[in-house]
Amino acid sequence: MSGSLTTLNAAKIQLSAGIIAIPARINAICNFLANPFTNKSADLYNLAVAAVKSYFNDVATTNPVPLRIVCTTSDGTCWFDSNSSTPLTYANFIAKTINDNQNTRSSFMQAMQSHEGWGFEQKHSTTFGKDFAPNTNYQGYYSTMRLGPSPDNVVGCISQSVFNTLIL
């Protein structure tokens, strides 16, 4: 389990340094999440997606294992999934077709409900790799960060997952 904790803690550090510590990124994300359904939301959405893609590209180039980023609104609606085959557009966000609702996922529930604002989970992934390695089993390590100051004031979540191939 110590290897799992090391993996999860590394993801926590990367998310903190790569999203929170860079004002342009966190501001773009929070501006969208504060106003996801206004007449300027499509523009805010595009800026938020660009911020997460920038972070993903930074981390993916230095990460030796497969990586995935999933971002949600406070109700669990997915607005970004780096592994989605559905285009990341505002229309697809509104239609809720980017990915399934994440509000029942363990790491998301922990992040939203904990005072620290973090959730962790280790499990077999049923979706990662299905497009590029359909006969491969992946073990996922999920580290999810709440966006919002407290469990009573959540605007969304960002989850970073890393994957290792399972030998069966």
**Region 68-77 average pLDDT:** 95
36: which residues sit within 8 A by CB, 6+ positions away? 44, 45, 73, 79, 93
123: which residues sit within 8 A by CB, 6+ positions away? 106, 139, 140, 142
* pLDDT value, residue 96: 96
Q: Where are the domains of the chain?
A: 2-165
Could you tell me the pTM of the whole model? 0.85
CATH class of 2-165: alpha beta
**Each residue's pLDDT tens digit, 88-144:** 999 999 999 999 999 999 999 999 999 999 999 988 776 665 555 556 677 788 899
The β-bridge relationship of strands 118-125 and 67-73 is unpaired
**Each residue's pLDDT tens digit, 77-97:** 999 999 899 999 999 999 999
**Region 58-79 average pLDDT:** 88
**Higher pLDDT among residues 140 and 69, named by residue:** 69
The β-bridge relationship of strands 118-125 and 138-147 is antiparallel
Q: How long a stretch of residues is the chain? A: 168
